[in-house]
Amino acid sequence: MRRAILPMVLAGAALMVAACGSKPPEIGQQFVVERVPDERPRWISRPPGDRDNKLFFVGFKTHASSLENGNTDARQNAVQKIVEYIGGTGMVDYTKARVEAGITDEGQAGNYVEDGYRFLAESIAQGVREDETYYERMKEWRPDGWHHFYNYYVLISIPKDVLERSTRMAFERQAAAARARNDAKAEAFANRLREQLTRDATSPNAPAQ
């Protein structure tokens, strides 16, 4: 009987030593539980350059509560980058459109620009294609224990002609909405933007000169 008890006692003591010697995670420390696909794609940090007359954008969402929410928010993030690209690469000039429309009030101009962003996002979202996705299932140590979430990344593309057409339609819808509420300056602003559209904007992923 004593021979049977002794190994059990020794095993228990070993477990206690191991437990006392293990260091608990630090608050905020994160670990990757799963990756899909197994390797982190290069496009996350280096989006593809223009090819086949298409532009590429990467969107992401960290700390998503579910895969579905991660995908939705990552796509919205990518679409927002396209909206910013339109104003930042010469396709349209919001300041010029404001001057041409005779808008002098800063707050009013800001509202018109925000309206333009909204119409652009709605229009562009219908023309993009989801080319690739990648996500990480994470766990993070917090004061009340482990918390799980997802980091989600999406690579989307949009043909250049589709982008221009979507942008034109967005400004047409913005002008129509302004006309419906009898806001002549807002309508003029949207029309000036539509008239500015050009095809020779800089690639979003081109190297700096």
Residues 6+ apart with CB under 8 A from 146: 139, 140
Whether 78 contacts 128, CB under 8 Å: yes
CA–CA dist 145, 152 (Å, integer): 23
Taking the domains of the chain in order of start, what are their residue ranges?
30-38+48-196
Whether 171 contacts 117, CB under 8 Å: no
Please give the average per-residue pLDDT across 132-140, as a whole number: 97
**pLDDT tens string 55-101:** 999 999 999 999 999 999 999 999 999 999 998 887 889 999 999 99
Inform me whether the pLDDT recorded for 171 exceeds 90.
Answer: yes
Express as a percent the part of the chain with pLDDT over 90. Answer: 76
DSSP string, 172-190: HHHHHHHHHTT-HHHHHHH
Whether 188 contacts 102, CB under 8 Å: yes
Inform me whether the pLDDT recorded for 25 exceeds 90.
Answer: no
Model confidence, pTM: 0.79
Confidence label for 140 from pLDDT (cuts 50, 70 and 90) = very high
